[in-house]
Amino acid sequence: MTTRILTGITTTGTPHLGNYAGAIRPAIVASRAADADSFYFLADYHALIKCDDPARIQRSRLEIAATWLALGLDTDKATFYRQSDIPEIPELCWLLTCVAGKGLLNRAHAYKASVDKNVEQGEDPDAGVTMGLFSYPVLMAADILMFNAHKVPVGRDQIQHVEMARDIGQRFNHLFGAGKELFTLPEAVIEEEVATLPGLDGRKMSKSYDNTIPLFGTAKQLKDAIARIVTDSKLPGEAKDVDGSHLFTLYQAFASQAQQAEFRAELEGGLAWGEAKNRLCQLLENELGEARERYNALITRPADLEDILLAGAAKARKIATPFLGELREAVGLRSFREQVQATGGEKKKAAKSARFVSFRDEDGSFRFRLLDAAGEQLLLSKSFADGKAAGQASKALQSGAELDVRGEEQVFSVWLDGERIGESPAFADANALEAAIVRLREALTPQE
Ligand code: TRP
């Protein structure tokens, strides 16, 4: 079976060496595996959330496209496209928006960080927060679910978003799948092996620290950046602290075992830092020199890049267009030419509300379960000695009074008057747990 791997690159900056080692290089390697079906795209709609400088958006799209191609992404094998060339993505985004819980999105890190910062500064909590930022995870879910990706390689900061895509996809499946899995539920993949490169000052290489080494700058720019790498003040001839040196860490990310051992021995033998920087420069030149030539050639042919990306979009839409058709059907956006099923609507309605099911346990005690709209168990009560007590408890839960729900690791429990009266099944992780609490609250909100 092939594994569909999908990831997006936000087009707000120019790729640097850290992006190359941490994301681009491993992605291109992974795309070559025989059983891999890779989807890589420029997340340019996401870029608009973070950046309102049109010139920068456009430059970054071009640079990122040229970078991936120059580094050897094979567009016959992988599907490479711009998010904004796939109109099915924003359309799916809306369908997902209609099932994504606001409570779920309230907990997204990026949004929460903005709110926390505002509160700290005594501002309105939502000052400067756009709906784009708030809905960022829904658009990302659309990117992923549109192509039924199995694996989504991302940085740690994006794990939560992939889990939200899972939750939203699962919810959609329950509501509209009629027993069928419409969406594949994706998994985040964190490449533990992959180097997180230190920047010039030893902190993580990042544009926001201004400590990056350009990927396809001129040979001179590369040399100048490397000259700025901070080292200690050991003199030529003195043994260097190899493992405490981020210059060595940088070298390591691009060197063979043998090269690493040799460089280590030289540094311990007193190699001057200036000379060590020359070695790193040479190593990077060998790694990237040819790709830089290709990059420079590509960047001067934007029309060709346009054609390549449009071909990628056409390939992606061969999947997206029919699939979105299916999804529109599923939610009830159907052609009038088809006969409307008379009972369809009502059945849906009945299935849509949560329900309590009471039963007697083997030992004769009384219990109840609360099932959500999709029939999934949200809560199993404790054993009550008699049916009346069980009935009162389930009634109290539906009274609309403030619920006492307590999250405990993988389960949540529900309390009434200081007594633990029921608990949920175990959920896979904190996000699934929180999503279930949201569904519990929905289920217990009195309805007209
Ligand atoms: N949000 C991701 C990032 O900032 C980029 C992205 C957008 C993405 N859509 C995606 C990554 C879908 C994986 C899958 O890194």
In this structure, the answer to whether residues 393 and 437 fall within a common structural domain is yes
Ligand 1 pocket, residue 67 CB under 6 Å: no
> Are residues 239 and 305 both part of a single domain?
no
How confident is the model over 91-145, as pLDDT tens digits?
Answer: 999 999 999 999 999 999 999 999 999 999 999 999 999 999 999 999 999 999 9
Question: Does residue 8 have its Cβ closer than 6 Å to ligand 1?
Answer: yes
* Distance between CA atoms of residues 261 and 68, nearest Å: 31
Residue 2: partners with Cβ closer than 8 Å, 6 or more residues away: 35, 36, 37
* pLDDT on residue 338: 66
Angle, CA of 234, 223 and 291, to the nearest 5°: 135
Alpha helices in 77-233 (DSSP H): 88-97, 102-106, 109-120, 131-146, 159-176, 219-227
For residue 176, give the amino acid letter.
Answer: F
158 and 31 in a common domain: yes
Do 394 and 255 lie in one domain? The reply is: no
Pair (147, 53) in one structural domain: yes
Please tell me whether residues 166 and 307 are part of one structural domain: yes
Q: What angle do CA 335, 341, 344 make, to 5 degrees?
A: 110
CATH number at residue 361: 2.30.29.80
Pocket test for ligand 1, best of 86, 89, 154 (most atoms within 8 A of CB): 154
* Residues sharing a CB contact under 8 Å with residue 62, sequence separation 6 or more, in sequence order: 299, 302, 305
Both 340 and 402 in a single domain? yes
217: tokens are: 């700058």
Does the Cβ of 167 fall within 6 Å of ligand 1? no
Structure tokens at 85: 């060339």
**In the prediction, which pLDDT does 352 show?**
59
pLDDT tens by residue, 414-424: 999 899 999 99
CB of residue 140 inside a 6 A radius of ligand 1: yes
324 close to ligand 1 (CB < 6 Angstrom):
no
Could you tell me which residues come within 8 angstroms of residue 172 by beta carbon, excluding any fewer than 6 positions away?
A: 95, 96, 99, 145, 182, 183
Q: Do 277 and 355 fall into the same domain?
A: no
Tell me, what DSSP letter sits at residue 123? S
pLDDT computed for residue 360 by the predictor: 85
Q: Please report the pLDDT score of residue 408 as a whole number.
A: 85
Domain interval for residue 148:
3-196+301-311
How far does the centroid of ligand 1 lie from the alpha carbon of residue 157, in Å?
10
Whose CA is closest to 226, among 198, 247, 204? 247
Q: Record the tokens describing residue 431, joined without a space.
A: 């996000």
Based on the fold, state whether residues 169 and 221 are members of the same structural domain: no
- Does residue 143 line the site of ligand 1, with CB under 6 A? yes
Spell out, as residue ranges, where the chain has pLDDT lower than 50.
Answer: 342-351
User: Are 235 and 276 found together in one domain?
Assistant: yes
Rounded (5°) CA angle 68-74-76: 135
- CATH label of the domain that carries residue 142: 3.40.50.620
Cα 256 from Cα 242, distance rounded (Å) = 16
Does residue 10 have its Cβ closer than 6 Å to ligand 1? yes
CA pair distance 69, 13, nearest whole angstrom? 17
In this structure, are 86 and 12 located in the same domain?
Answer: yes
CATH assignment of the domain containing 266? 1.10.240.10
Question: For a pocket test of ligand 1, which of 5, 6, 10 has the largest count of ligand atoms closer than 8 A to its C-beta?
Answer: 10
C-beta of residue 197 within 8 angstroms of C-beta of residue 253: yes
